[in-house]
Amino acid sequence: MRNRYKFTFITCCFLADLLALVFGTLIFLRISTDMAVEWNFLLLSKMIPITILSWLFSTSYFRLYRVDTLFSLDAFYRNSWRALLTQRILWQISIIIFQGSLQDSYGSRAHLFQLSFLLVYILLSRIMLTFILAQIKKWGSKPYTVAIWGFNKTSIELASKLETNSCFIDFKGIMNENSSEDFMSKEAFNFALTSAIQSASANQISELYIVVQPNFISDLNYYFELGDKQNLRLKFVPDFSTITKDHFSAGNLDHFHVIKPRNEPLQNAYNRLVKRIFDLVFSVLVIVFVLSWLYPILAFLIKRQSPGPVLFKQLRTGEKNEAFWCYKFRSMQTTGFDASQQARKGDARVTPIGKFIRRTSLDEMPQFFNVLLGNMSVVGPRPHMLQHTMDYNEQINNFMVRHFIKPGITGLAQISGLRGETKKVSDMKRRVNADIDYLQHWSLVKDLKICFLTVIVSLKGDEKAF
């Protein structure tokens, strides 16, 4: 029942969503025609394919229709809205590219009708799906039953996952959760597990997760063969809760089980490519549309107020602990400057224009050239001076983890109020924790959110920017 109903459910959702998107495009075209909009013929012939391709890209990126994992209703709803927003953005960009005007898309009556239809469809369809999923287990004559054997921290977490995210299985719980049995030998453990497998088969369990410490298992093949004879799928989950960190990450390398201290999305080549494309596009847009006119204005004011170069460059610690030249608009006097000293509030070295560009973070703008060169990313941990890296590495155990990825012009720590001078080691620890949190939970949506919040913070003015 599990695979058949899940596949049917996901397939129907995909077809219904795609038809709704196409119907929404037809509504847009019909109303636009009634409004006598003169469409580019190339765009007119490509609107339906653009709609389909943009939806396929959006749903693939957010993994909306996956059938190979536990189905989470919350994640499905959340990713539905994300996919729709992304598809709308891609669709509008296509209109601007082919039509060359915003007038025929944003703000038009055709666009508002189309968007209203899609929003109402997503809302009503997901409400209907909730009702269907609530009834779907009743439709199967023989539900796919799942249970766990082994009572420990890992099995409790697995049980919570199965209970929360499984709409297509009948989860029976942890078989021995009420047992106080403590195995003193492998023989006692083997006898108990053999009995559990036979009991699970007798109770028509379809799939049994065995969650135990690896040192208890002496012969996996024996248990797999026993499960096969009992027509029972066995899955072993090693319990490492007593010997590893709370938030470790596990995976596979061919036939080897690999345990890592943390999850790192940017270890995935596809994610790195997405982030690099975002960095390049974002940087080019900033350089062309902002720095092209801002650079000469600030250069004139900087040179007028104090002698010296327009740009200030300093060696900073980058990815893999490699040093690189980091560029900034010069905001201080060139005389009496100690490169190892952090800027302080009321620092006499800061020029009048320097106070403004530091408070608004405009002094960081030349770092978009660093992004193009590949030394930095738009979003990531802020790069520190070499001496500061050495000093803090001796005092904070996980400080160097932030150098597993490229440093950024802005980051999670900066929008969380953790920028500026670090007077105490505890201040730096909070910043490092924010950087590691970003490394563990990176996504393109998170990068966009951080960029947006950075603009808001810069416009409001950060009291820690001085």
List, for residues 316-355, the tens digit of each pLDDT value: 999 988 999 999 999 888 765 555 566 666 577 788 898 8
Query: Tokens 């720095």, residue?
Result: 291
Q: What percent of the chain has pLDDT over 90?
A: 31
Instruction: Assign 3-class secondary structure to the chain.
Output: CHHHHHHHHHHHHHHHHHHHHHHHHHHHHHHHHHCCCCCCHHHHCCHHHHHHHHHHHHHHHCCCCCCCCCCCHHHHHHHHHHHHHHHHHHHHHHHHHHHCCCCCCCCCHHHHHHHHHHHHHHHHHHHHHHHHHHHHHHHCCCCCEEEEECCCHHHHHHHHHHHHHCCCCEEEEECCCCCCCCCCCHHHHHHHHHHHHHHHHHCCCCEEEEEECHHHCCCHHHHHHHHHHCCCEEEEEECCCCCCCCCCEEEEECCEEEEECCCCHHHCHHHHHHHHHHHHHHHHHHHHHHHHHHHHHHHHHHHHHCCCCCEEEEEEECHHHCEEEEEEECCECCCCCCCCCCCCCCCCCECHHHHHHHHCCHHHCCHHHHHHHCCCEEECCCCCEHHHHHHHHHHCCCHHHHHHCCCEEECHHHHCCCCCCCCCHHHHHHHHHHHHHHHHCCCHHHHHHHHHHHHHHHHHCCCCCC
pLDDT one-digit tens code per residue, 397-435:
888 999 999 999 999 998 888 776 666 778 888 899 999
Burial 381-414 (b: 16+ CB within 10 A, else e): bbbbbbebbebbbeebeebebbbbbbbbbbbbbb
pLDDT-based confidence at 140, cuts 50/70/90?
low
Q: What confidence score (pLDDT) does residue 466 get?
A: 47
Please identify, in words, the CATH class of the domain defined by 145-243. alpha beta
Quick one: average pLDDT of 242-260? 68
**What mean pLDDT, rounded, does the chain reach?**
83
Q: What predicted TM-score, i.e. pTM, was given to this entire model?
A: 0.63
Quick one: average pLDDT of 229-238? 86
Q: Are 149 and 200 in contact (CB under 8 A)?
A: yes
pLDDT-based confidence at 38, cuts 50/70/90?
low
Q: What confidence score (pLDDT) does residue 461 get?
A: 66
d(CA 378, CA 304): 30
Q: What confidence score (pLDDT) does residue 80 get?
A: 92
Q: What confidence score (pLDDT) does residue 463 get?
A: 61
Q: What confidence score (pLDDT) does residue 427 get?
A: 83
Q: Report residue 418 as tokens.
A: 């953790």
Q: What percent of the chain has pLDDT over 70?
A: 83
* Residue 348 exposed, middle or buried by CB count within 10 Å (0-12, 13-18, 19+): exposed
Query: Which sequence spans correspond to the domains of the chain?
Result: 2-139, 145-243, 269-460
pLDDT one-digit tens code per residue, 79-135:
999 999 999 888 888 777 776 555 544 446 778 888 899 999 999 998 888 888 777
Pick from 62-71, 125-134, 150-159, 290-299 the range whose average pLDDT is largest: 290-299
pLDDT-based confidence at 278, cuts 50/70/90?
very high
Residue 383 phi, psi (nearest 5) = -75, 140
